[in-house]
């Protein structure tokens, strides 16, 4: 670990299509390499599902109300307890769950970072996501972004 303080993140991401899975994997690799992120103590929803049962491995859980409510509650605690909020964002494949998480993070006053794959950076994004984000990064900038020095910047793309 380097001498500067590391931040915990709530790592929001869709994983329901090949493009979302790729963005998820790329962002996770980048935050693991980022010296200002404490991945070990961060909240990665797929690693914190109720009773350790992952819905991507057990899709039948989507019909289990106890699992669903407990997993949702755990994710809310993850948003609240993390230092900041990070979300992979694909302009052409928005995930409604990420939208809810972005809203929670905004309500809890978290620093909100959206990460867009380089090839999609600059494409139009949803007005509510745009307005909630403190900064929107290219995927290639995620590994070196200094989360100890947060700042605001406008996303260069349009909104819809």
Catalytic positions, please?
101
For residue 38, give both structure tokens: 């404490």
**Residue of 93, 102, 88, 108 lying closest to 132 (CA atoms):** 102
Listed in sequence order, the residues at least 6 apart from 52 whose beta carbon sits closer than 8 Å to its beta carbon are none
**Residue of 69, 55, 64 lying closest to 15 (CA atoms):** 55
- Quickly count: other Cβ atoms within 10 Å of residue 24's Cβ: 19
The DSSP bridge pattern shows strands 84-88 and 9-12 to be parallel
């Amino acid at each position: 670990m380097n001498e500067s303080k590391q931040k915990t993140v709530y790592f929001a991401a869709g994983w329901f299509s090949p493009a979302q899975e790729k963005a998820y994997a790329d962002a996770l690799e980048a935050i693991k390499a980022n010296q200002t992120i404490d991945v070990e103590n961060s909240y990665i929803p797929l690693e914190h599902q109720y009773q350790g049962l992952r819905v991507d491995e057990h899709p039948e859980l989507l019909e289990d109300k106890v699992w669903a409510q407990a997993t949702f509650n755990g994710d809310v605690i993850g948003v609240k307890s993390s230092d900041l909020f990070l979300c992979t964002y694909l302009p052409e494949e928005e995930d409604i769950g990420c939208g809810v998480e972005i809203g929670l993070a905004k309500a809890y006053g978290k620093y909100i970072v959206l990460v867009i794959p380089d090839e999609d950076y600059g494409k139009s994004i949803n007005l509510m996501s745009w307005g909630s984000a403190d900064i929107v990064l290219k995927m290639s900038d995620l590994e070196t972004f200094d989360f100890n020095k947060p700042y605001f910047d406008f996303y260069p793309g349009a909104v819809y």
